[in-house]
């Protein structure tokens, strides 16, 4: 016996602003997912708990350089430091330095968190 739902998964987005609009647009055409409005029953709820809109709209204290924006986009693709270095034509140690700076500037806890922070701030678009 399968636990899979008979119909599409009802998904509620508890996110404000442009990110909610982008997610809704992306998920609208996905088979097996139905976006529900606030208050309707949902199988899954996605929220931006811990990420308030004021924090996400404030500029970074140290903006990312053009190279750092390239690096965070490559991080979003799941590339390792060595792969980033090859793609950008730089030394692996230089790629490692850029990744560390991106993580620091975005006040992230690691590579994945840096990508999430960059996406929420509109630095990259997933």
Domain residue ranges of the chain, discontinuous segments joined by + = 9-56, 59-121
Q: What is the pLDDT of residue 89?
A: 97
Q: What is the pLDDT of residue 67?
A: 96
> Residue 20 has what pLDDT?
73
Amino acid 80: pLDDT: 95
10 DSSP β-pair partners = 34
Contact status, residue 103 vs residue 110, Cβ threshold 8 Å? yes
CATH number for the region 59-121 comes to 1.10.10.10
pTM of the full predicted structure? 0.56
Nearest residue to 41 (alpha-carbon basis) of 9, 1, 2: 9
CB burial of 49-68 (b: ≥16 within 10 Å; e: otherwise) equals eeeeeeebeeeeeeebeeeb
pLDDT along the chain (126 residues), means of 10: 64 73 76 78 69 54 90 94 97 97 92 90 82
């Amino acid at each position: 016996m399968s636990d899979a739902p008979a119909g599409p998964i009802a998904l509620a987005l508890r996110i404000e602003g442009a990110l909610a609009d982008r997610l809704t647009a992306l998920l609208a055409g996905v088979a097996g997912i139905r976006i529900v409005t606030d208050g309707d029953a949902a199988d899954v709820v996605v929220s931006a708990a811990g990420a308030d809109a004021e924090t996400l709209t404030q500029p970074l204290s140290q903006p990312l350089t053009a190279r750092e924006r390239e690096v965070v986009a490559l991080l979003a693709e799941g590339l390792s430091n060595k792969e980033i270095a090859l793609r950008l034509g730089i030394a692996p140690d230089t790629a490692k330095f850029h990744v560390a700076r991106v993580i620091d500037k975005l006040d992230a806890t690691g590579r994945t968190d840096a990508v999430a922070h960059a996406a929420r701030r509109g630095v990259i678009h997933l």
